[in-house]
């Protein structure tokens, strides 16, 4: 029995326990063998081998337990139910380490009450939910579903144009604006890596799982990984009294 046979197991702790077991085997060989039946000695060797495999397995399991993926903290955006939907983040403040993530989800029961997680990092990029948009008077709008109690809001302007009061895509969709002002849209349920230099990071409207179709193109969660230490305050753009913060150490 030589130490080399254990090398394949890699890490030092496993190597060390294998060495100790080998020393024990050598000790047994030298001290006990001369006065012992060969069969009994083989039995003892087998016990040692079984034990050492057990120790190695234990070490492998411990190593696996230590190699967990980076932490993701969950924060509820809203809650309650259709009668009394909540407009709070729970917990309102979370503390994490750099490189860790936060996932926001919407646990409101049976109510399509949307929320957003919106970081206005330069304190100067507040986006309005309703956005005035200039459209030609010839533009036809068809409210959906047909026959529903929906209609476009148009304010006649000059020169054959009207102002349509629509929903601002920069609140409705997941989107980031970097330090240079570049706007980049993301898919629903975005997983964004925050550097802290952005002007604006928005989750888009997200709904309880199964109710996303109430607002086409929206999702039910938002995840941000925080690369740098700092205090990151955010707000729900639909309920601006709904505030929260992520403190990154
Ligand atoms: Cu909200």
**What's the rounded mean pLDDT across residues 137-164?**
92
CA 79 / ligand 1 centre spacing (Å): 10
Q: Is the dihedral of CA 169, 220, 216, 211 positive or negative?
A: negative
CATH 3.30.1360.20 fits 72-129+168-248, yes or no: no
The pLDDT-based confidence of 122 (bands split at 50, 70, 90) is confident
The pLDDT-based confidence of 233 (bands split at 50, 70, 90) is very high
Average pLDDT for the chain: 82
CA distances from 96 to 52, 73, 116, 228, 243 (A): 39, 8, 21, 11, 18
What percentage of the chain exceeds 70 in pLDDT? 72
- Domain map (residue ranges) of the chain: 3-66, 72-129+168-248
The pLDDT value recorded for residue 30 is 55
CA 212 / ligand 1 centre spacing (Å): 15
CA 240 / ligand 1 centre spacing (Å): 7
In contact, 106 and 239? CB cutoff 8 Å: no
pLDDT in tens, 18-59: 445 555 445 555 555 555 566 655 565 555 555 555 555 544
Residue 111 has φ and ψ, to the nearest 5°, of: -145, 125
- Buried b / exposed e across 47-79, counting CB within 10 Å, b at 16+? ebeeebeeebeebeeeeeeeeeeeeeeebbbbb
CA 119 / ligand 1 centre spacing (Å): 13
CA 147 / ligand 1 centre spacing (Å): 29
Q: When comparing pLDDT for 123 and 197, which is higher?
A: 197
**What's the rounded mean pLDDT across residues 219-245?**
97
pTM: 0.70
CA 117 / ligand 1 centre spacing (Å): 8
CA 8 / ligand 1 centre spacing (Å): 54
Separation CA 104–CA 88 (nearest Å): 12
User: What crossing angle do the helices spanning 12-32 and 38-66 adopt, rounded to 10°?
Assistant: 170
């Amino acid at each position: 029995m030589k130490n080399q046979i254990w090398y394949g197991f890699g890490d030092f702790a496993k190597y060390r326990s294998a060495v100790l077991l080998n020393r024990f085997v050598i000790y047994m060989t030298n001290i006990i063998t001369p006065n012992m039946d060969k069969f009994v000695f083989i039995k003892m060797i087998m016990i040692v081998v079984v034990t050492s495999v057990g120790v190695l397995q234990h070490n492998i399991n411990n190593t696996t337990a230590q190699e967990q993926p980076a932490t993701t903290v969950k924060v509820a955006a809203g809650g309650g139910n259709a009668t009394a939907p909540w407009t709070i983040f729970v917990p309102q403040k979370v503390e994490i380490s750099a490189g860790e993530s936060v996932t926001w989800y919407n646990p409101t029961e049976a109510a399509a009450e949307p929320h957003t997680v919106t970081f206005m990092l330069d304190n100067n990029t507040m986006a309005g939910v309703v956005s005035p948009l200039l459209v030609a008077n010839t533009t036809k709008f068809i409210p959906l579903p047909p026959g529903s109690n929906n209609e476009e809001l148009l304010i006649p302007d000059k020169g054959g144009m009207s102002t349509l009061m629509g929903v601002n895509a920069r609140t409705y969709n997941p989107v980031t604006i970097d330090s240079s002002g570049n706007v980049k849209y993301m898919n629903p349920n975005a997983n964004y890596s925050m550097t802290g230099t952005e002007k604006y990071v928005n989750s888009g409207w997200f709904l309880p799982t199964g109710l996303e179709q109430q607002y086409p193109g929206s999702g039910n969660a938002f995840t941000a990984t925080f690369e740098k230490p700092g205090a990151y305050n955010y707000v729900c753009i639909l309920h601006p009294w709904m505030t929260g913060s992520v403190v990154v150490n």
